[in-house]
Amino acid sequence: MAGGWVKQIDKDKFYGSLEMFLNGNISLCKAAEMVGLSVPTLRKYYEIVITGKKLPENLFKDEN
């Protein structure tokens, strides 16, 4: 990641939006809005998950 900074997001929203997107229930634009990321960034993260690669360690907010 450029500069090592990653915007933290809600894990449940991310995986929930991914499931809805893959099932054709929402657009990528709507999914990005739900998660709070830009479309290109969300697309990149979805591609990482779909290809079985590892997401950035600090991507998800702490669940405390």
pTM of the model: 0.87
**7/26 Cα distance (integer angstroms):** 22
What pLDDT is attached to residue 1? 44
Residues 6+ apart with CB under 8 A from 29: 39
pLDDT in tens, 2-61: 556 789 999 999 999 999 999 999 999 999 999 999 999 999 999 999 999 999 989 999
* DSSP SS3 for 7: coil
pLDDT score recorded for residue 6: 85
| pLDDT value at residue 18 | 98
Q: CB of 12 within 8 A of CB of 64?
A: no
Instruction: Please compute, for residue 40, the number of CA atoms within 13 A of its CA located in the half-sphere on the CB side.
Output: 0
Higher pLDDT, 37 or 1: 37
